[in-house]
């Protein structure tokens, strides 16, 4: 069974994905997921920022196994192509039989936003009403949809982008307003969803009780947040080991991951009662597997009778 991108989009909905991702994050922190570090190879197709990469992400959880192969080619934007492309294979854990292969681009887009929605619901102040977004691409759009589901009170939407026209366009489409980076950063919840290799968010712009959802700039040498933003915040991650290995925001600032989101969701670690919080997301294979299982079942997938 091959499931196309459009077929994935037709059946994968945040109403089912967000609670499934929440449980997957709890299971991960409880040690119920087998997830080796992702393997990343440089494509060597070009010099500098146009040099793409190819990653392999295997995982075993519950009754299924899976592997995602994903590419990131920054230069694709100039060609009118998606910068991230992916394929996910789902297999039976009991027999090793392939169950299905599906396009992984939309899954990557949606599971990232679903993770942020889970974190926002758990970590944002109960009276949070404003959302600032740095970035105006695919992740900005998907996050708006997911975050509004868990926190409908986020009505003041502020969008900032390196290309102001893109911020204006997204604001017009989503009922937000295009603003400066400083004004976006002054919101109750701030999303950074850029591909910038250098900090785009300064700690001095943030209010004392902001929740920052940092989802862009995955890589040990890349970062979206400056030292002040990281060092003045309670840092939460999907996974300590993943963030400490793959997040330049964590590595280059010297900040410590103080909790995994799964620990906070399960109650084994208390959420911070006050102060600034940074949730750093780098993306994990268990999130892809969780979404792929939902898609496969919705498309009529069934277990072997053997």
Domain segments of the chain as ranges: 2-107+286-298, 125-283
Provide the CATH topology of domain 2-107+286-298.
ornithine cyclodeaminase, domain 1 (3.30.1780)
Residues 186-219: tens digit of each pLDDT: 999 999 999 888 999 999 999 999 999 999 988 8
> Does the pLDDT at position 157 exceed 70?
yes
CA atoms within 13 A on the CB side of 50: 8
Instruction: Confirm if 35 and 284 have CB atoms less than 8 A apart.
Output: yes
Same fold, 2-107+286-298 and 125-283: no
- Quick: pLDDT tens for 7-49: 999 999 999 999 999 999 999 999 999 999 999 999 999 888 7
Question: Phi and psi dihedrals of 15, rounded to 5?
Answer: -60, -35
Gyration radius of the chain over CA positions? 19
162-191 residue pLDDT tens: 999 999 999 999 999 999 999 999 999 999
Q: What is the pLDDT of residue 49?
A: 75
Over residues 225-273, the pLDDT tens digits come to: 999 999 999 999 999 999 999 999 999 999 999 999 999 999 999 999 8
User: Is residue 243 within 8 Å of residue 257, measured between CB atoms?
Assistant: yes
Its pTM stands at 0.95
User: Which structure tokens are listed for 101?
Assistant: 């292969």
What is the rounded distance in angstroms from the CA atom of residue 299 to the CA atom of residue 176?
A: 35
- Give 90-129 pLDDT, tens digit per residue: 999 999 999 999 999 999 999 999 999 999 999 999 999 9
Note the Cα 31 to chain centre separation in Å: 21
Q: Which runs of consecutive H residues, i.e. helices, occur in the chain?
A: 5-11, 14-29, 105-123, 138-150, 164-174, 181-185, 227-231, 240-246, 248-253, 261-266, 285-298
Alpha carbon distance 293, 252 (integer Å): 35
The pLDDT value given to residue 158 = 98
Query: 95 in helix, strand or coil?
Result: coil
Kindly state the tokens that stand for 203. 């700690």
Instruction: Determine whether domain 125-283 maps to CATH 3.40.640.10.
Output: no
pLDDT reported for residue 303: 60
CA–CA dist 127, 113 (Å, integer)? 21
The pLDDT of residue 305 is above 50? no
């Amino acid at each position: 069974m091959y499931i196309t991108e459009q077929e994935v989009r037709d059946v994968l909905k945040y109403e089912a994905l967000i609670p499934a991702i929440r449980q997957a994050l709890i299971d991960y922190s409880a040690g119920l997921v087998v997830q080796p570090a992702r393997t990343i190879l440089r494509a060597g197709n070009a010099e500098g920022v146009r040099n793409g990469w190819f990653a392999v992400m295997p995982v075993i959880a519950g009754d299924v196994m899976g592997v995602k192969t994903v590419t990131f080619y920054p230069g694709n934007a100039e060609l009118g192509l998606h910068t991230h492309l992916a394929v996910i294979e789902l297999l039976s854990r009991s027999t090793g039989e392939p169950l299905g292969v599906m396009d992984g681009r939309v899954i990557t887009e949606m599971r990232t936003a679903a993770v942020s929605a889970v974190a926002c619901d758990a970590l944002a102040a109960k009276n949070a009403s404003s959302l600032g977004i740095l970035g105006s691409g695919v992740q900005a759009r998907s996050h708006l949809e997911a975050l509004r589901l868990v926190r409908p009170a986020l009505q003041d939407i502020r969008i900032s982008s390196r290309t102001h026209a893109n911020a204006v366009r997204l604001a017009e489409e989503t009922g937000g307003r295009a603003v400066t980076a400083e004004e976006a950063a002054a919101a109750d919840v701030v999303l950074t969803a850029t591909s910038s290799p250098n900090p785009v968010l300064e700690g001095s712009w943030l209010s004392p009780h902001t929740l920052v959802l940092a989802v862009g700039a995955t890589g040990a040498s890349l970062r979206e947040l400056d030292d002040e933003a990281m060092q003045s915040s309670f840092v939460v991650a999907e996974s300590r080991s993943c963030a400490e290995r793959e997040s330049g925001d964590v590595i280059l600032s010297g900040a410590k991951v103080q909790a995994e989101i799964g620990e906070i969701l399960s109650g084994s670690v208390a959420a911070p009662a006050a102060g600034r919080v940074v949730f750093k997301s780098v993306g994990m294979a268990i999130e892809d597997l969780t979404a792929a299982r939902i898609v496969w079942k919705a498309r009529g997938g069934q277990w072997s009778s053997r």
